[in-house]
Amino acid sequence: MNIKREQGFSTLLITVVISLIMALYVFSLLSVELFNSKKTQNIIISQELKSMSASGLQCAVDIILRSGQKPTSASIDYTPCVDAVITAIQIPATSTYKVTSTATAGDAESTMSQLFTSSSMNGVKSAFSSSGSVRFNGAYVIDPYEGVKSGTGYNCSAIRSGGEVLINGKLTVRDPYDQDGQRKEGSDGQLISCNSTHKTVATSSTGFKKDIEQNIKDLSLFKDNFAVDRDSWAEAKALFDTIIIGKKTTTEIKGSQKSVNHLVVTDCSEQINGIIAHNKAEFIASKKPGYEPNYKKYVWVEGSCNLSGVKFGVAEENAVAITLVVKDGLLTYHGSGYFHGNLYLFDYAMTHDQLLAAWELNATLKQIATAHKLDLKNAPFYFSGSFETRGAFNLDSPNRTCDVGGAFKPGYSKGKIDYGDSRFGKTVMLEGSWHDF
């Protein structure tokens, strides 16, 4: 009886062991199948995510190239790129931008990136630039662009002109100074001095040195500043932060009995002061951790603009400076003050009569300018008192021999022009910079 019982237990034990082995075998098969299934599923998800991130990146690339703007521009909208999350950053201290596309599903993700760079210009390289001929009436001191170092000094640039540079008085180019009235220093800590070959002190054009260039062939100030031809000015205008259009005004030109229509911005300096105040407030706020300032850097004015009363100080932060374009209007200033940034007078389609009509609305300045024997139909700007630019001054008036009168001191400051981070010019992809994480 015991033998039979033991044999029964042995048989049962063998059966149980075999069943366990079979169960383990089946479980292992199921585990392998589940693993393979999971692996296949992960591969499919990975491929789908890669496809989505690639699609998102291509969408972002198309938007950037179509807009021509920098990837970080606030006006670029990536929301149409629904397959992935698009982020864009500027690599610090460079003009290179990284655009990243990330697609996710649960804990899985796929990221791809592409580098871009801006082909925009670095702005003008002189304190005073003129597309046409210009005549200086009086004595003027110019703080030049320091240019490149050559030998012990620098090849400074004071004036660049597409026409002649004429003098009824004296031009003095001094060594570069900063906005605090101190001599500029080079990267080596030494004072920047213009080479004698690039430092004009003259009472006639025969005394010009190489810091004053004239009759420059095919000089295009508008393209140098905004990366498009002057006839395509509307493309550049579309990228400006603020557009100010003057009021249509009808003025009779005394002595001719002509009534002329032209544009006048009656509160030009007040509107500019509002922008300056905004930029100053944004600069202060930018010191708070995580705050992204929204500066109004580019201002486009159409019509005559009187800058008298503009509230720039002697010294200003680069972030506060602006690029101000005044199109087809008389630009004037009366008093004592400063302008920080790129001041651009765009004489595109202004007739002699329109310019004379604009002068009629500035009786005091007209009297002063006439006393200095300026040809008013060729004087699209006039500064009376003391007016200093800290940045650059551009006189884009190719069809006039423009008269410069009044107390005007052009001074160059690259930081105030801000073309190291210009929104103008086409954005292009860096070849070979596509990356799949």
389-404 average pLDDT score: 92
* Whole-angstrom distance, CA of residue 27 vs CA of residue 92: 56
* Whole-angstrom distance, CA of residue 282 vs CA of residue 319: 9
Highest mean pLDDT of the ranges 58-67, 317-326, 364-373: 317-326
| Contact yes or no for 157/211 (Cβ under 8 A) | yes
CA distances from 107 to 27, 43, 46, 104, 226 (A): 27, 14, 11, 7, 46
pLDDT, position 287: 94
198-204 average pLDDT score: 96
DSSP characters over 382-415: EEEEEEEEEEEEEEE-TTS-EEE-EEEEEEE-HH
Q: Tens digits of per-residue pLDDT, 32-73?
A: 565 555 555 555 566 887 888 889 999 999 998 887 778 887
pLDDT, position 52: 86
pLDDT, position 43: 57
Whether residue 361 has pLDDT greater than 60:
yes
pTM of structure = 0.75
- CB-facing half-sphere around the CA of 85: CA atoms within 13 A: 8
Q: Which residue has the tokens 């906005």?
A: 179
pLDDT, position 423: 73
Beta pairing class for 108-118 and 128-130: unpaired
Q: Which two tokens stand for residue 303?
A: 């019509």
- The more confident residue out of 2 and 416 is 416
Q: What is the largest CA-CA distance in the chain?
A: 145
Highest mean pLDDT of the ranges 2-11, 62-71, 221-230, 281-290: 281-290
- Please choose, from the candidates 214, 209, 169, the residue with its C-alpha nearest in 3D space to the C-alpha of residue 404: 169
- CB-facing half-sphere around the CA of 233: CA atoms within 13 A: 19
The helices-and-strands tally (H runs, E runs) of the chain is 7, 23
Q: What is the domain partition of the chain in residue ranges?
A: 2-120+426-436, 128-421
- Please choose, from the candidates 349, 400, 381, 352, the residue with its C-alpha nearest in 3D space to the C-alpha of residue 162: 400
pLDDT grade, residue 31 (50/70/90)?
Answer: low
Give the mean pLDDT of the chain. 87
Amino acid at 216: I
109-117 average pLDDT score: 88
Whether residue 95 has pLDDT greater than 90:
no
105-110 average pLDDT score: 81
Burial of 220 (0-12, 13-18, 19+ CB in 10 A): middle
Q: Which helix (H) or strand (E) holds 373?
A: none
- The more confident residue out of 148 and 269 is 269
Whether residue 260 has pLDDT greater than 90:
yes
Whether residue 235 has pLDDT greater than 90:
no
